[in-house]
A and B are shown apart, each in its own frame.
Chain A
Amino acid sequence: MSFEAVIGLEIHIQLNTQTKTFCSCSTSFGDKPNSHTCPVCLGLPGALPVFNEQALNKGIMAGLALKCEVAEFSIFARKNYFYPDLPKSYQISQYESPLNKGGYVLINDDEGKKRKVGITRAHLEEDAGKLIHDENPKGPSFVDFNRCGVPLLEIVTEPDIRTPDEAYRFLQAIKEMMQYTEVSECNMEKGELRVDVNISMRNFGDQGFGVKQEIKNMNSFANVKRALEYEVKRQTKILRSGQKLIQQTRLFDVSKSATVPMRMKEEAHDYRYFPDPDLVPVTLTHDQIERIQNSLPELPQNKRERLKKQYNLTDYDVEVLCSSHKLANYFEAAANGYKSPKKIANWILSELIRVLNERRIEIDDCKVTPTKLRDLFDLMDSKVISGKIAKAVFDDMVESGQSASEIVEKKGLKQVTDRAEIVKVIVETIEENEKVVRDYRDGKKKVFGFLVGKVMQKTHGKASPKLVNEILREKLES
């Protein structure tokens, strides 16, 4: 008997705002614990929450990008439970009337065919504080409320995902979309994107659902994939042996690369949602929604298709370039009006990405702007420098932020195109390498490269390779 997995995801994404959802405390990360707190986000009696308009805008944009129906009427609800990271003893969320419902995201399945993953809803809510536990297992816990009240979008999918790889690609697509629309920076290290998964197994072809397992709070796509792979194996084994699964909440233990049951206090679970009387309904007109729809930036899939056609790029090129809208925009700024955009794409995919990785910097922090990159290409095209020198100049540009021509000038890297000068060096090289030259003339043609290398060495790589080849061959053959 063969089984298939039925997977659904819940994704929490931090909306990119300056202030919290219902108070004007800053959302900035890494500041002194509890320094971004006020009566509202500490849940002091009498404090009145007021909704952040930017959180609403970002929430609508996200909904539109996810092809959801944006509600013309939505309300906030209180989700009641006791936990020390939640000072009000309720979380403000949306329950009955969420902001966004019924969308979808297109992904490739494992055969490369397009498949729709349904979005059940994407609603607004506030984050809780951060708990830190004392090293001593008997010691207390500590709370930092800086994160408490930060706006989140919770995206809930239909159970439409079938494999761990699909889940991975889906998350990648969501992340790209949220970054393209600037709804969220999705910085995983800062916990701006967290994933809960539901997974059950059923006989292949069945329509019903098996017993589901929930794996909570993962902040890396690779871990989501590994946790799902582990669950597929674990659940299949249990079902094969004829045993039954019990519904469980589990955690992914990175060190064991396995999911383990979550230790939970036996607690009553009944959130008793009800509309928050402190917050008034949000209504939107059709026109307002349409205006935001029209202001949506180009989405990843559209950008890939357009760049591919417009600049004659390969699938691979656009796949990598468009994995970040910033990289894609950088490419367009540099390639705009240039005769061979493919060359620019190649440079970005090899040289630029290399230095970004080496220096662990983002494209925003790279000192070589698109205009500066174009200047470098102009120097290559007008034969002022060779491609090889250009790479060195590029590294220097990244380091110093100077322009290509400044560096070429300062370091005297101009390509030597003076025939007489090159002839002189070649004659010298021939004299110094008598034996090799004899070999060449005896028919060992492959030593030619060695001699070219020698000439380039003598000119510190500055001689025009084309001229060196031409003249050297001439001299050797004569």
Chain B
Amino acid sequence: MKIDKKTIQWVADLANLSLGEEEELEMEKQLLAILDYMDILSELDLEGVEPTSHTLGYKNVTREDRVGESFEINEVKKIAPKWERGHFVVPRVV
């Protein structure tokens, strides 16, 4: 797979990152190396092999629908970068 500057900017944008020109070049190099590495996989014969969705081999881990402990409001307040009138405050979105 080919990676160009445009792809790097697209991926950075999706990840909410702003990269300088040098960083973009650096990322391009690193991502290319990763993709090259992944290409090794395509050399394998994967005919009839189901895609893996989980690596540990567990399934059906569930819990009972019973209410447990939640944070005290004061703890939540401490976590919030900005807090006002019982709410997290964020830059306006609309």
Q: Please report A residues at the B interface, Cβ cutoff 8 Å.
A: 17-19, 23-26, 32-38, 42, 44, 50-56, 75, 80, 82-84, 89, 97, 131-134, 137-145, 263, 268, 270, 272, 275, 277, 279-283
Instruction: Tell me the dominant secondary structure on chain B's binding face.
Output: loop
Q: Select A141's contact among B59, B60, B90, beta carbons within 8 Å.
A: B90
Q: How far is the CA of A142 from the CA of B71 in the complex (A)?
A: 19
Chain A residues near B61 (CB-CB < 8 A): 50-51, 279-280
The 8 closest A-B pairs by CB, nearest first: A24-B68, A54-B65, A142-B87, A84-B90, A53-B62, A275-B53, A143-B88, A280-B58
Contacting pair B60 A26 (CB below 8 A): no
Please, which residue of chain A has its CB at the minimum distance from the CB of B80? A34
Q: How far is the CA of A138 from the CA of B91 in the complex (A)?
A: 10
Per-position binary interface string of chain B over residues 22-58, scored 1 when its CB falls under 8 Å from any chain A CB and 0 otherwise: 0000000000000000000000000000000111101
Q: How far is the CA of A384 from the CA of B36 in the complex (A)?
A: 92
Chain A residues near B14 (CB-CB < 8 A): 80, 268, 270, 272
Please, which residue of chain B has its CB at the minimum distance from the CB of A137? B92
Please, which residue of chain A has its CB at the minimum distance from the CB of B75? A37
Query: With A139-B92, A143-B88, A143-B90 in contact, is A282–B65 under 8 Å at CB?
Result: no
Report the tally of A-B residue pairs with Cβ distances under 8 A: 134
Contacting pair A134 B92 (CB below 8 A): yes
Contacting pair B63 A53 (CB below 8 A): yes
Interface residues of B in 54-94 (CB under 8 A from A): 54-56, 58-71, 73, 76, 79, 82, 84-94
Chain A residues near B89 (CB-CB < 8 A): 140-143
Q: How far is the CA of A36 from the CA of B73 in the complex (A)?
A: 9
Query: With A51-B63, A275-B53, A280-B54 in contact, is A83–B93 under 8 Å at CB?
Result: yes
Q: Does B4 contact A (CB under 8 A)?
A: no
Chain A residues near B13 (CB-CB < 8 A): 268
Contacting pair A140 B63 (CB below 8 A): no
Q: How far is the CA of A275 from the CA of B54 in the complex (A)?
A: 8
CB proximity of A342 to chain B, nearest CB, Å: 41
Chain A residues near B55 (CB-CB < 8 A): 277
Q: Select B54's contact among A26, A131, A142, A277, beta carbons within 8 Å.
A: A277
Q: Given A84-B88, A84-B91, A141-B93, list of 13 further CB < 8 A pairs? A: A24-B66, A32-B86, A33-B86, A37-B71, A55-B65, A83-B93, A131-B93, A133-B94, A137-B92, A141-B92, A142-B88, A142-B90, A144-B86
Chain B residues near A36 (CB-CB < 8 A): 70
Contacting pair A52 B65 (CB below 8 A): yes
Q: How far is the CA of A25 from the CA of B79 in the complex (A)?
A: 17
CB proximity of A58 to chain B, nearest CB, Å: 10
Q: How far is the CA of A308 from the CA of B77 in the complex (A)?
A: 57
CB proximity of A95 to chain B, nearest CB, Å: 11
Chain B residues near A18 (CB-CB < 8 A): 65-67
Q: How far is the CA of A53 from the CA of B61 in the complex (A)?
A: 9
Q: How far is the CA of A270 from the CA of B7 in the complex (A)?
A: 13
Chain A residues near B54 (CB-CB < 8 A): 75, 275, 277, 279-281
Q: Select A143's contact among B66, B67, B87, beta carbons within 8 Å.
A: B87
Q: How far is the CA of A23 from the CA of B94 in the complex (A)?
A: 30
- Can you report 16 residue pairs joining A to B where beta carbons are below 8 Å apart? A24-B66, A33-B86, A34-B76, A36-B70, A37-B70, A54-B64, A75-B54, A131-B90, A140-B91, A141-B89, A144-B86, A144-B87, A144-B88, A270-B10, A272-B14, A281-B60
Query: With A133-B92, A280-B60, A280-B61 in contact, is A35–B70 under 8 Å at CB?
Result: yes
Contacting pair A37 B62 (CB below 8 A): no
Q: How far is the CA of A272 from the CA of B14 in the complex (A)?
A: 9
Q: How far is the CA of A402 from the CA of B73 in the complex (A)?
A: 44
Chain B residues near A82 (CB-CB < 8 A): 16
Contacting pair B70 A50 (CB below 8 A): no
Q: How far is the CA of A417 from the CA of B84 in the complex (A)?
A: 72
Contacting pair A281 B79 (CB below 8 A): no
Chain A residues near B73 (CB-CB < 8 A): 32, 34-35
Contacting pair A44 B63 (CB below 8 A): no
Please, which residue of chain B has its CB at the minimum distance from the CB of A81? B14
Contacting pair B94 A280 (CB below 8 A): no
Q: How far is the CA of A153 from the CA of B56 in the complex (A)?
A: 27
CB proximity of A336 to chain B, nearest CB, Å: 33
Please, which residue of chain A has its CB at the minimum distance from the CB of B9? A268
CB proximity of B56 to chain A, nearest CB, Å: 7
